[in-house]
Structure 1
Amino acid sequence: MDFPQIDPVIFSIGPLSLHWYGFMYLLGFITAWLLGNYRAKQANSGWTKDMVADFLFYAFLGVIIGGRLGYVLFYHMDLWQQDFWYLFKITEGGMSFHGGLLGVLGAVFYFARKNQMRFWQVGDFIAPLAPLGLLFGRLGNFINGELWGREASADFFLGMRFPADSEGLIRHPSQLYEAFFEGLVLFIILWLYSAKPRPTKAVSGVFLLGYGGFRFVIEYFREPDSHLAAVSEIITRGQLLCLPMVALGLYLIISAYKQSAK
């Protein structure tokens, strides 16, 4: 199957263009805003619509700044050492989920202190809002024909040839795997799990465990960055970054229910 030819630009007005990738980020934040407002309306949520909008502003900054910093530090320190300004060349692409997560955790810390709330209380509220944003982000990667998967068998029904792949191999559309499992499936799990009262930290723990677990497995189907391929035969950089997420997620869930039992 050949990759469907999709123009990465939705439309242009003079020098301004709206790209699918940017539009997917916008959809992710709009969805988070709608879901957050819905959760804020629930009895004893402790949140208002203004608080949701306020937090999402800080989260947006955290995703952009943390995502870019994470990409450079985790995946391309070599390019930053050659060119200091590479860090700021966002138009050339390059965002890291794990860096974006650290940025959002920074936003959670600031927001919690500002509103005199507990860190994990904020984390539990916003965790179910994130997966659909991840879904849209991976769809943006797919539309851009980037971050494709490893080579697949010639008769694999989902195998694709990506135009930018100089090798012309049939590959796994790993972007769609991530969109489905890290996005849709994780959203359903978190939304249903958080529908009932849970011990503080438990919802955040399920998010970290769920994303880290799904991403760790899907990394086996995702083509590693070319300059990291030598070490990725055993374990990829993405898998290494997921291990602390899985460990922390398990710790939060266990400690949450232990404290609840006491």
Structure 2
Amino acid sequence: MLIHPQFDPIAIALGPLKVHWYGLTYLAAFALFYLLASARAKQPFFAQRGWDRQMVEDVLFFGVMGVVLGGRLGYVLFYKPGYYFSHPSEILAVWQGGMAFHGGLLGVITALAIYAKRQGRHFFEVADLVAPCVPIGLAAGRFGNFMNGELWGRAADPSLPWAMVFPQSGTDIARHPSQLYQFGLEGVLLFVLLWLYARRARPLGAVSGMFLMGYGVFRFTAEYFREPDSFLGLLTFNMSMGQWLCVPMILVGALFWGMAQKNAFRSEDRKA
């Protein structure tokens, strides 16, 4: 069996200043988004609508706010509402850990809706630009989870060549390195598929719908190998909280994609 390398969580230490690897993965995610979104803005569909780097920077700013606030509030509401309602002073204590992707997604959707309204653009014009740029950032985050030795997988057959012991779990049980499964599925593979799909002009909302469906399916699958949160365990039908949160994602994504194919969403010109 493999043993988790036990990386030092601190990448750089300069006196009292300490930079953690996990923080660097967030910076990498935002930098990759900026580069990819800038490339998307040059594609004909967006270029002819006046998209430029300044607008990409503005979208990134709104997106970061949505990720941080939505991710934290999502964790509070979806995973530990009882605890945080009893300790309200800790709700915004993000430095103590605790972020939820699905909450971050709702936060980003809200932030993009606000940006689109302020710019007089259709929500799906903004969302379709953003969607293919997100998965590679998610891959960076999952790599950070692996570096930290957190969110480990369920017990695996010790004969599995890549089965790994995570000392942080407090046991010597061989486990699936589920962080790397998620890195590959909802990160790299989803990015490749979505980026290729979005290279051609698609009906408004189709790319966003594909992102929701793709992430939902890949995350739902990876959850079968990820250890459920100890304070929740498996829920109804032996599904984890992550899987239950993916179900509406898949359904809404399918609805958006289907409506896009029927041209239900109409492009809007920018306000003067």
Q: Same fold (TM over 0.5)?
A: yes
Give 1:197-212 correspondences, 5 Å limit: 197-212=201-216
Instruction: Name the residue aligned to 2:162.
Output: 158
**TM-score, normalisation: structure 2:** 0.93
Task: Indicate whether 1:213 and 2:222 are aligned.
Answer: no
Q: Does the residue aligned with 1:226 lie in a helix, a strand or coil?
A: coil
Q: CA, structure 1 residues 43+230, in 2 after alignment: closer, same or farther (shift >3 Å)?
A: closer
Partner Cα distance (2:234, 2:138) in 1: 28
Partner Cα distance (1:232, 1:166) in 2: 27
Q: Does the residue aligned with 2:193 lie in a helix, a strand or coil?
A: helix
Instruction: Name the residue aligned to 1:66.
Output: 70
- Whether the 8 Å contact between 1:120 and 1:200 is mirrored in structure 2 is yes
Task: Indicate whether 1:170 and 2:174 are aligned.
Answer: yes
Q: Does the residue aligned with 2:174 lie in a helix, a strand or coil?
A: coil
How big is the shift at 1:5?
Answer: 2.3
Q: Find 2:199's aligned residue among 152, 171, 195.
A: 195
* Pairwise CA RMSD: 1.4
Report which stretch shifted further, 123-132 or 75-84.
75-84
Instruction: Name the residue aligned to 2:105.
Output: 101
Instruction: Name the residue aligned to 2:25.
Output: 24
How big is the shift at 1:255?
Answer: 1.2
How big is the shift at 1:158?
Answer: 1.4
Instruction: Name the residue aligned to 1:6.
Output: 7
Q: CA, structure 1 residues 171+103, in 2 after alignment: closer, same or farther (shift >3 Å)?
A: same
Give 1:1-262 correspondences, 5 Å limit: 1-45=2-46, 46=49, 47-231=51-235, 234-259=238-263
Partner Cα distance (2:243, 2:207) in 1: 22
Q: Which amino acid aligns with 1:210?
A: G
CA deviation vs aligned residue, 1:59-101 (integer Å, no higher than 9, x gap): 0010000000001111111220331112122111111000000
CA deviation vs aligned residue, 1:130-179 (integer Å, no higher than 9, x gap): 00110000000110000001000010111111121112211101010001
Partner Cα distance (2:85, 2:114) in 1: 31
Q: CA, structure 1 residues 104+11, in 2 after alignment: closer, same or farther (shift >3 Å)?
A: same
Q: CA, structure 1 residues 233+5, in 2 after alignment: closer, same or farther (shift >3 Å)?
A: farther
Partner Cα distance (1:199, 1:243) in 2: 24
Report which stretch shifted further, 4-13 or 188-197.
4-13
Structure 1 residue runs of 4 or more that deviate by more than 2 Å after TM superposition: 230-233
How big is the shift at 1:230?
Answer: 4.9
Partner Cα distance (1:5, 1:219) in 2: 23
Report which stretch shifted further, 12-21 or 36-45.
36-45
Unpaired runs of 5+ in structure 1?
Answer: none
- Whether the 8 Å contact between 2:132 and 2:191 is mirrored in structure 1 is yes
Q: Which amino acid aligns with 1:42?
A: Q
CA deviation vs aligned residue, 1:173-215 (integer Å, no higher than 9, x gap): 1010001110000000111000000001100000000000000
**TM-score, normalisation: structure 1:** 0.96
Report which stretch shifted further, 82-91 or 229-238.
229-238
- Percent identity (aligned): 47
Q: Does the residue aligned with 2:44 lie in a helix, a strand or coil?
A: coil
Q: CA, structure 1 residues 29+140, in 2 after alignment: closer, same or farther (shift >3 Å)?
A: same
Partner Cα distance (1:44, 1:223) in 2: 42
Q: Does the residue aligned with 2:30 lie in a helix, a strand or coil?
A: helix
Partner Cα distance (1:13, 1:53) in 2: 30
- Whether the 8 Å contact between 1:79 and 1:86 is mirrored in structure 2 is no
